[in-house]
Amino acid sequence: MKKFYRENRVLVILSIVVIICMVISTALLFKYFYFGNGSDKYGDRLENIKDIPITKDHQKDVISKLEENKLVKEALINISGSIIYVTINFNDEVSLVEAESVAVTTLDSFSDEEKNAYDISFNLLEDKTEASEGFNMWGSKNAGREKITWNNNSPVTSKEESEQ
């Protein structure tokens, strides 16, 4: 063994250094990918909503208020993290301006505390029919802001066109 070491001293030292580097790299990769950093995937962004929960009953109240409107066919609310997703399906022949006004009035169903803590995302939908062009409009209101920002209306295809 001593003879091998004396003849291949550089190779032995390099092999030991490579093995040590591989062990350290493997340990660091394992720690980074397997164990993670131990924090919540949302970080501290959800700290401000812990004291302002939106209950299922409150969600049902908002949905029932929306569905009382004669323009609305169906409404859904989904909360994920600090974002309230409001999806509203409208009856035929509802204009885009009317749909946006229904979404704006939905904000009255939330308290000022809730509007300042949660982002609100709107998805306004109307199917394309012979009498209506239909629309798929997205809007969002950031927490603490008053204004809803709307995107451009995405074109809607009828069910017959989408099946082709």
pLDDT digits (tens, 9 = 90+) for 109-143: 999 999 888 999 999 998 887 777 888 889 999 98
Confidence grade of residue 40 (pLDDT, cut at 50, 70, 90): low
21-33-42-103 Cα dihedral, nearest 10 degrees = 130
129-77-41-149 Cα dihedral, nearest 10 degrees = 60
Q: Residue 39: its pLDDT value, please? A: 62
Global pTM reads: 0.69
Q: What angle do CA 154, 157, 159 make, to 5 degrees?
A: 145
Q: Is the pLDDT of residue 95 over 80?
A: yes
| Residue 132 vs residue 21, higher pLDDT | 21
Q: Is the pLDDT of residue 41 over 70?
A: no
Tally of CB atoms within 10 A around 23: 10
Cα–Cα distance for residue pair 82/80, rounded to 1 Å: 6
Q: 42 and 81 in contact (C-beta within 8 Å)?
A: yes
112-113-115-119 Cα dihedral, nearest 10 degrees = 170
Q: 88 and 102 in contact (C-beta within 8 Å)?
A: yes
Confidence grade of residue 153 (pLDDT, cut at 50, 70, 90): low
Residue 30, C-beta contacts closer than 8 angstroms, at least 6 positions apart: none
